[in-house]
A and B are shown apart, each in its own frame.
Chain A
Amino acid sequence: MSLAPSEHAPATTTPAGRGTTKQTRRTRPCRRRLLTRTSVPYLLIMPAVLGFAIFKAYPIVASLWISLTTGNGAGRHFTGLGNYQRLLSDPLFWTALKNTALILVVQVPLMLGLALLVALGLNSTKVWLRPLWRLGVFVPSLTGLVAAGVMFSVILNRDAGLLNWVLSLFGIDRVNWLGSPFWARVGVVLVITWHYTGYNAVIYLAGLQGIPQELYEAAKVDGAGPVRRFVSITLPQLRPILLLTVVLSTIGTLQLFDEPYVLTGGGPDNATLTVTMYLYNNGFKYFDFGYASALAYALALIVAVLGFLQVRLMGERK
């Protein structure tokens, strides 16, 4: 971290040689002593520190403590790693984890691949009406998850949904989107992909526009074709942004809750039950806070390990 140049500025703000009268000079320093260059930053971060302590730091620590207890309120007592042991032998936890992992492995590469394609298209100067398309693909990410979930629960309806109707135009039979375990998962993946692809595409677009054109021109002179230019210039130059989106999407998917909650309620047959949904059920349906907290920490651990691995694998400098 570099020193801010302002560090070298005079420490107090006494105006030198300006025509203020003696009287104002005498009264104003009193106020200024409270707001000196040393105290000001602390005053500025105070609301953030307070909020951080109450709504981030404390809950993080408290959650760890709660995860080591059972019971509620006054009846709460310490059980050590009991909740974690229960977790390891809880088939529903493994189901939820498997569902979440499955969605993660299928959805994130699919979405980011599509987003990159869209971004490449949007970046091409040969395309007409670019701003309109960019606007359009970004719009889904503005929609709340509930609104999107409700909308798609009808679009994916087996008997009269929009999607099955569109498919029928191509002669494809009706698909039982939300009613069968396999298709329910596909449905959830579809909705999340619809929701976030454009958002990632806009982020990629920014990255693409930051790549110096000279690199491409030099490569063209050297006879590199489009595929070669993409692999040797675009991908390496985009790496930091690719990493950012991979990590953010992983975190987001591991926390998946709203869409399956609204679309399928976790069903059918727990096929779309996610870890966060299971956490919610344990915490706020059965009020088993200890177990829910253990789930939260297990999830945090998984997020941390995956994030670390991703940064290690993708993050190394060229």
Chain B
Amino acid sequence: MKRRSLLLTLLLAGAFGLCVGPFYWLAMAATQENSDVFSWPPKLLPGGHLMENLQGLQDSIGLTRVLFNTVLVAGVQTAGAVAVSVLAGYAFAKFEFRGRNLFFVLLLSTLVLPDTVMLIPIFEMMMKLGLIDSYQSVILPGLVTPFGIFLMRQALRSMPDELLDAARVDGAGELRVLWRIVIPVNRPVIAALALFVFLGGWNQFVWPLIALRSPDMYTLPVATATLQGLATTNYAQVLLAAAIAAVPVMALFLVLQRQFISGLLAGATKE
């Protein structure tokens, strides 16, 4: 019995190492000089060039501006998508209205359709509106997330109706019920959803790559990818950019992991 558990633990530790190991290497490589990134054997201890690489990134992609763009885009997208999802999810979960099922099915069916189908018309639309290369062009298409609406509906359905009716009987208007009861009671799911959306916004690549033109407007993934395409790529800097893209979401995840995983599971296992 004991031996089997030791073996299993070692196997899982191995899987852990395969998953986390590359990040350790990434963190170390980001602190090296460019020439040391490709030394053999790889440098697995911190080098002393972190500040120098940061400065390099600031000079080449305007790191602070790019970070600001990324935070802004992901943040606004998160706030908007969560608001839209909570409102619609509440309607789908707790109200009867004409066309409810039809619209819900339509909404879910877009989950199955590849996003790429929508790229070109949305691009043309943004061109016509003169929004290419603006924050709006990146943020707007991400505001309606079928997954978010689905998740909120699933979560809100399990809320007892008595709770809502009690508030209504006490004279609370519908908005007040939403604000004072629905949202506070479901804060954990809403937080999980917010994390999902933020993660998606922080990491999104294809659409910003298409919609953004000037380096001033780039988000971190776009800036990182263009940096890598250069002939004289400074790999220490590219890897530092990748590390900067990865670290905040990991930190966020570590802080909120319980909510995050339970939210993920709510979406995966219910229905």
Give Cα A254 to B116, complex, Å. Answer: 11
Give Cα A124 to B10, complex, Å. Answer: 13
Residues in B whose Cβ lies below 8 Å from that of A7: 96
Interface size class of B (residues with CB under 8 A): 35 or more
Binding-face segment, B19-27, B46-54, B56-64, B186-194: B19-27
Report if A5 contacts B (CB, 8 A).
yes
The reply to whether B84 and A31 form a contact with Cβ atoms under 8 Å apart is no
Contact of B114 among A155, A289, A299 (CB under 8 A): A299
The reply to whether A48 and B221 form a contact with Cβ atoms under 8 Å apart is no
The reply to whether A210 and B40 form a contact with Cβ atoms under 8 Å apart is no
Give Cα A283 to B94, complex, Å. Answer: 43
Report if A276 contacts B (CB, 8 A).
yes
The reply to whether B205 and A144 form a contact with Cβ atoms under 8 Å apart is yes
Residues in B whose Cβ lies below 8 Å from that of A154: 29, 37-38, 235, 239
Question: In A107-158, which residues have CB < 8 Å from any B CB?
Answer: 118, 121-122, 124, 126-130, 132-133, 135-140, 142-155, 157
Binding-face segment, A84-92, A215-223, A227-235, A290-298: A290-298
Report if B265 contacts A (CB, 8 A).
yes
A55 to chain B, nearest CB (A): 5
Question: In B63-115, which residues have CB < 8 Å from any A CB?
Answer: 83-85, 87-88, 90-97, 100-101, 103, 106-107, 110, 112-115
Question: In A171-206, which residues have CB < 8 Å from any B CB?
Answer: 194, 198, 202-203, 206
User: Hey, what's the 0/1 contact readout for B134-174 against A, CB within 8 Å counting as 1?
Assistant: 00000011011010010000000000010011001111111
Contact of B118 among A13, A38, A59, A118 (CB under 8 A): A59
Report if B120 contacts A (CB, 8 A).
yes
* Given A6-B164, A257-B206, CB of A140 within 8 Å of CB of B114: no
The reply to whether B12 and A15 form a contact with Cβ atoms under 8 Å apart is no
| Chain B interface helix/strand/loop/mixed | helix
Contact of B225 among A151, A202, A261 (CB under 8 A): A261
User: Hey, what's the 0/1 contact readout for A1-26 against B, CB within 8 Å counting as 1?
Assistant: 10111110100010110101000000
In this complex, how many residues of chain A approach chain B with their Cβ under 8 Å: the count is 106
The residue of chain A having its C-beta at the shortest distance from the C-beta of B171 within the complex is A15
The reply to whether B210 and A284 form a contact with Cβ atoms under 8 Å apart is yes
The reply to whether B116 and A140 form a contact with Cβ atoms under 8 Å apart is no
The reply to whether B15 and A118 form a contact with Cβ atoms under 8 Å apart is yes
Report if A162 contacts B (CB, 8 A).
yes
Contact of B206 among A127, A202, A280, A307 (CB under 8 A): A280
The residue of chain A having its C-beta at the shortest distance from the C-beta of B175 within the complex is A35
Report if A56 contacts B (CB, 8 A).
yes
The residue of chain B having its C-beta at the shortest distance from the C-beta of A129 within the complex is B9
Report if B245 contacts A (CB, 8 A).
yes
B17 to chain A, nearest CB (A): 8
* Given A145-B205, A147-B224, A151-B22, CB of A303 within 8 Å of CB of B113: yes
The reply to whether B199 and A142 form a contact with Cβ atoms under 8 Å apart is yes
Report if B18 contacts A (CB, 8 A).
yes
Report if A98 contacts B (CB, 8 A).
no
Report if A304 contacts B (CB, 8 A).
yes
The residue of chain A having its C-beta at the shortest distance from the C-beta of B164 within the complex is A6
Given contacts A15-B169, A66-B120, A297-B117, 20 further A-B contacts (CB under 8 A): A6-B94, A15-B171, A41-B95, A44-B95, A45-B87, A47-B87, A48-B87, A52-B103, A56-B107, A57-B106, A118-B15, A124-B8, A137-B19, A140-B19, A145-B203, A155-B25, A262-B228, A279-B116, A283-B120, A307-B112
A-B contact pairs, 6 of them (CB 8 A): A13-B172, A41-B97, A44-B90, A139-B250, A139-B253, A160-B39
